[in-house]
Chains A and B, each alone.
Chain A
Amino acid sequence: MTKIDFLMAGVGGQGTILASNILAEVGLQLGYDVKKAEVHGMAQRGGQVDSHVRWGEHVHSPLVEENSVDYLIGFEMLEAARFPHFMKQGSVAVVNDYRINPPLVNLGKARYPSKEEIESLLLARAGKVLWVDGTGIAKELGNPAMVGVVLLGFLSTLVGGDQEAWLAVIERMVPPKFVDLNKEAFAAGRKAAG
């Protein structure tokens, strides 16, 4: 059983924590030992949130190590750009093509890096950078908060595992009235992966 390390990076309020909870639970269902770490608290107020999820035969540390992440999932472009040093050579970055300005950029006192700059930075380690219009797809479904599950749908095509296992976990972990919408979001994410 090979180990798979995931790092999810986003902004407080984007739903990274729920998505990482789902991802961790899927790992457990697929028979892996699983650990997950994140910091919440102050980060909820629009700060950066990164979640570490580790699948393996026997996982010790809940924190991923530098140079060892297999999948970087960026919920926001700049947040993805903070973590190239965590990525393993030849790994995959799945990045939501979406920008949330940090305060200094809003104030006109700092520059938000371009998509090309971010891609080239990530390619220093990543074998490929896959852009997903996750927030756009989620908005089309009627709720931008679905972005996390869209990204999970996309990710599921790369990681593998029975699609039903992913859907069963989603069904169990999201509020009952949002189950159908989340399943649609998951399917839309898979479709976006082609």
Chain B
Amino acid sequence: MKKLMTGNEAFAYGAYLSGVRVAAAYPGTPSSEILDNFSRYPGVFAEWSPNEKVSLDVAIGAAYAGTRAMCSMKHVGLNVAADSLFYAVYTGLKSGLVIVCADDPDMHSSQNEQDNRNYAKFAKCPMLEPSDSEEAKRFVGLALEMSEAFDTPVLVRSVTRLSHSSTPVEVTAEGPPPPPPAEPPLYERNAPKFVMVPSNARRRHPVVEERIKALAAHAESMPINYIEPGDDKIGIVSAGVNYHYAKEVFPHATFLKLGMVYPLPEKLIREFAARAETVLVVEELDPFLEEQLRLMGIPARGKDVFPMLGEFSPSLIRRCAVKAGLVAAPETPPEIKTGLERPIRPPMLCPGCGHRALFHVLGEAGVLVTGDIGCYTLGWAPPISAMHTTGCMGASIGVAHGIDKAGVKDDVVAVLGDSTFLHSGVHPLIDVLYNKGVTTTIISDNNATAMTGFQEHPGTGKTVQNQTTAAVDPEKLARGIGFNKVDVCDPFDIDRMAEILQDHLQSGEPSVIISRHPCALNTKEKYTPPVIDPELCINCGLCLDIGCSPLVQEEDYVRIDTLLCNGCGLCVKVCPNEAIIKQ
């Protein structure tokens, strides 16, 4: 029978069916639900690791020990884990290791749109690319078999439109089978293979080179790389979800559908190119396949027709193909009268969010804020406008320290969330102390990895499998590192938070403020909305500056939308005329 599954559900299902028993990840859109789903299968171990590098090391360890393992992450997570990917390619493993990595073309929830297929070539690691959920399920199994047959980790690439699309998957009516009883694996010690000192690594590098050649030869006969014969006027080369988009636009063309995007089956590609009058590569982001075809001497078209940027869709492919004269223009539909203003609706901090209260204090103080990755990044946007840099996970503290060491006179504070702090904020915090910095680091602690869906992390006291565990306390951690000036404050106590901030900034010593308020969306706590007295409201707009969606500008006063309001009372505190009354 068929069941609709998202790509992420299917990755987890495929991993379970293929015998993966250890999986580790750090949440990141669009990959988070892979581990969430996997963790619910019986007899498996799953963990949210503090960051992607740790998660990959954990998965590598399990595969060294003889247990099939999976690691999943978003594209930029592989930047964090890259060091581990590269050594694992050298060492190989004992059991299968699959790394599912989800790119985010168009940056729906990311800071860049890097094309992680480049990592396959860079690390010399094979990469499969499924095009729908059924393939997501199957390719995880194929990746594990390939991993064991060729003694290498195998990358499986997803994109947002695979991870977050639902398509039918073949499932058994009785549900997934129970896990077979497993003997504890015996660790086989083999230091020359697993200790990458130069002398051993030099012996492993030729293995890596030979392996990738063997994989390229194997690619020729893999059933997931195949030609779909059609009209040979245009031969389309495609992989992943773009294959399906291209099928909508070129339903009758000959296709080369690649299930493995690295290494490529050269003979098969030459056979395909020989029959097609024009070879057209349909691929999002980088010309990764196109360049390899051109190196084979095949005059493939691709980026002269389609953009390097953003996400593809059938609409975009058709527009580009019509422009290039590759398909006939569809009948022109009637012109749509434009010009009607349709104001954008950007994501905003939720009503009741503690980050908003913190940013209100920071904005009032006029400090320079280096930011980080999480919900609180929304503090950069108007009307809050209280964050001035954001680059990647954990960058806030080092950037603040660098700005400070450059001699800038502004007061600088770093702001990052609790999960981000434990991901990659601890080392830069050590750096500030060690190198005699004076940076004030503010951990905006809402007790969740909120942006990606409230996942647990090492500070919450719960594991992904809902077991109670030790909770890392950022206050004790900072003190343990050697910070003497550490304060904890609820940001809704805005006067006290402002005092603490000034005290820290003027102290001339490195310091940490933990701004602690649980995520309102996660706890679902709501209070009675305040009431605005239109007689007292002087329409000054100061409450609107906190950027809270229930506050609505009317003709000559401000109104509260009680359906949306969380009742947190921040607007009550910022009103200069006591026109907003707490209930």
Contact = CB atoms under 8 A, between A and B. Distances in A.
Most buried by B among A42, A79, A112, A124: A42
A21 interface: yes
Contact of A46 (B2, B333, B347): B347
Contacts of B30: 39, 41
Given A42-B451, A46-B350, A60-B245, A106 B334 contact: no
A67 B322 CA distance: 15
Contact of A42 (B29, B161, B344, B552): B29
B248 A104 contact: no
B507 interface: no
A60 B347 contact: no
Interface string B211-251: 00000000000000000000000000000010011011000
Interface in A64-92: 64-67, 78-79, 81-82, 84-85, 89
B164 A45 contact: no
Contact of A106 (B132, B318, B350, B552): B552
Nearest to A46: B348
A106 B168 CA distance: 42
B343 A110 contact: yes
B4 A47 contact: no
B109 interface: yes
B168 A33 contact: yes
Given A28-B168, A41-B451, A65 B346 contact: no
Interface residues of B, number: 54
A11 interface: yes
A65 B122 CA distance: 35
Contacts of A11: 345
A50 B337 CA distance: 22
Contact of A37 (B2, B109, B164): B164
A47 B108 contact: no
User: Taking each of B108, B318, B342, B552, which has the highest tally of chain A beta carbons within 10 Å of its own beta carbon?
Assistant: B342
B248 A60 contact: yes
Contacts of B447: none
Interface in A117-174: 117-118, 120-121, 124-125, 144
Contact of B4 (A28, A81, A105): A28
Contacts of B168: 28, 33-34
A43 interface: yes
Interface in A20-53: 21, 24-25, 28, 33-48
A1 interface: no
B167 A43 contact: no
A36 B7 CA distance: 11
Contacts, number: 158
Interface residues of A, number: 56
B337 A121 contact: yes
Given A45-B348, A65-B314, A67-B333, A106 B164 contact: no
B375 interface: yes
Contact of A113 (B2, B244, B342, B346): B342
Nearest to B241: A62
A21 to B, nearest CB: 7
Nearest to A27: B4
Interface stretch (B199-207, B401-409, B543-551): B543-551
B178 interface: no
Contact of B166 (A12, A36, A66): A36
B184 interface: no
A15 interface: no
Nearest to B343: A110
B118 interface: no
A63 interface: yes
Contacts of A34: 4, 166-168
A15 B331 CA distance: 35
A101 B548 CA distance: 12
B247 A60 contact: yes
Given A28-B4, A38-B164, A62 B244 contact: yes
A114 B342 CA distance: 11
B334 A61 contact: no
Given A41-B29, A46-B347, A101-B552, A21 B336 contact: no
Contacts of A112: 343
B432 interface: no
Contacts of A108: 544, 553
A41 B167 contact: no
Nearest to B104: A41
B198 interface: no
B167 A28 contact: no
A11 B563 CA distance: 14
Contacts of B160: 39
A33 B168 CA distance: 8
A39 B102 CA distance: 13
A103 interface: yes
Contacts of B310: none
Interface in B153-198: 160-161, 164-168
Contacts of A39: 30, 108-109, 160, 164
A132 B334 CA distance: 26
B452 interface: yes
Interface in B113-156: 132
B489 to A, nearest CB: 24
B347 A37 contact: no
Contacts of B161: 37, 62-63
Contacts of B343: 78, 102, 104-105, 110-112
Nearest to B33: A40
A123 B29 CA distance: 36
A62 B242 CA distance: 10
Given A42-B108, A62-B167, A63-B313, A103 B4 contact: no
Contacts of B347: 12, 42-47
A144 B562 CA distance: 13
B330 interface: yes
A107 B330 CA distance: 42
B553 A65 contact: no
A102 B561 CA distance: 13
Contact of B336 (A47, A85, A103, A107): A85
A111 to B, nearest CB: 6
Interface string B442-473: 00000000011000000000000000000000
7 contacts: A42-B347, A44-B347, A62-B241, A63-B315, A64-B314, A106-B552, A107-B383
Please give me the 8 A-B residue pairs with the lowest Cβ-Cβ distance, nearest first.
A108-B553, A47-B347, A41-B29, A41-B109, A62-B165, A110-B343, A45-B347, A60-B244
Given A61-B247, A65-B315, A102-B343, 16 more contacts: A24-B4, A34-B167, A41-B109, A42-B29, A44-B521, A46-B350, A47-B346, A61-B244, A63-B315, A79-B345, A104-B343, A107-B553, A111-B343, A113-B341, A117-B340, A120-B337
